[in-house]
Amino acid sequence: MSIEVKVPAVGESISSGIVSVWHKKSGEQVKAGDPLFTLETDKVSTEIVAEKDGILQTLVAEGAEVKIGEVVAEIQEGSGDAAKPAEKPSAAKSEAKPAPAAAEKSSDALSPAVRRVVTEEKLDPQEIRGTGKGGRVTKNDAVTAAQNRAASPEPASAPARPAENLSEKKAPAQSENGRFTRKKMSPLRRKIATQLVMAQHTAAILTTFNECDMTEVQTLRGKSQEAFTKKNGLKLGFMSFFIKATVEALKAVPQINSRIEGDDMILNHYYDIGVAVGTERGLVVPVVRDADKKSFAEVERAIAEYATKAREGKIKIEDLQSGTFTISNGGVYGSMMGTPILNPPQSGILGMHAIIKRPVAIKDAVVIRPMMYLALSYDHRAVDGKEAVTFLVTLKQCIEDPKKLPLDF
């Protein structure tokens, strides 16, 4: 008995994805719970696992775009050892009983999916080598046969057709002189591009700046680090300070913790703070839920877990939804200054930058202090300039005097 492996629904509004990698090869034994392939969508990457034990027969290649609900593989129930005798019958048995083999490959014995490929490609079922249970022809066998026929050399009278080379179809298109490489954008990169353009076209984005002295936070963090790590099993970072300071600033300026829907403005009375995380696939923004109710340790743990999941491609769609405000820390990459773009439908995003020692004037004296530039991009339709400045000033005060925050180390 064969079990179809279908592309599952992985979130609302997601209708397709790409089979980025097969973790098991066609013909390989799999067990229930084994990861079969990674489905890459415009929001997340998800590992799809086997539901039953058996032999895997893949029906689509790596890099193929597939629809939700599409059958991408079959699992033939049974073990690999049990399948081998059926796949490779002895010569004596094949000579004594030719009829069953022929019947197995007759048009009536083919599955609807295989029959469709055979009809469309005008294949002879008797010439297709079956790798399924008992020598049964699978859809993958039919597709492979069609590809092999297309790739086989044509008669001498016909000119060679290098474009039919399958390896060329799979490889990224390159220019003849090697000066550039053309390849398809990943679903995540396409989604990021769409979101950024939409934000620029639909919101009145404006950015205001300030700077903050990191001396007190660095001093407090240094004094508390050993005890914090010993108590909680993880380090105390800067991001938890900024998330807590952001919550205080949003409480002072609730208009920034809002979104516009049509002619309505929705004021959020909760604080789900998105934290932008860079990965090899692109930028994702997991959300720290109810940041105002979490301790510093809980915030740090949530950030660490999300970062690990994002880089391993295991983050879930629900981890990225319903944030009310976003923080993007370009400082970890050395950014000195930048203007972040809104994460729709949010009305504000905070950009953190590198901590740089600079000469500053304090009480008529020039001193060297670790300084950070801050940038707040906001939707001017919902937020006025006065409110944006008030937000940054409140955040700056909380960072420069951490005692204003609910410290619970």
Q: Residues with catalytic annotation? A: 380, 384
- For residue 80, what is the DSSP state? H
CA-based nearest residue to 9, from 54, 59, 51, 44 = 44
Bridging pattern class, strands 365-379 and 348-362: antiparallel
CA distance 76 to 131: 10
CA distance 119 to 116: 5
Task: Tell me the CA distances in angstroms from 103 to 83, 96, 107, 121, 141, one per residue in order.
Answer: 19, 14, 9, 21, 17
Other Cβ atoms closer than 10 A to 281: 18
At 369 the three-state DSSP class reads strand
Query: End-to-end CA distance of the chain, in Å?
Result: 58
Angle between helices 296-311 and 239-252 (to 10 degrees): 110
CA distance 307 to 284: 10
Other Cβ atoms closer than 10 A to 3: 15
- Which DSSP string do the residues of 275-289 spell out, in sequence order? E-EE-SS-EE--EET
CA-based nearest residue to 129, from 149, 154, 152 = 149
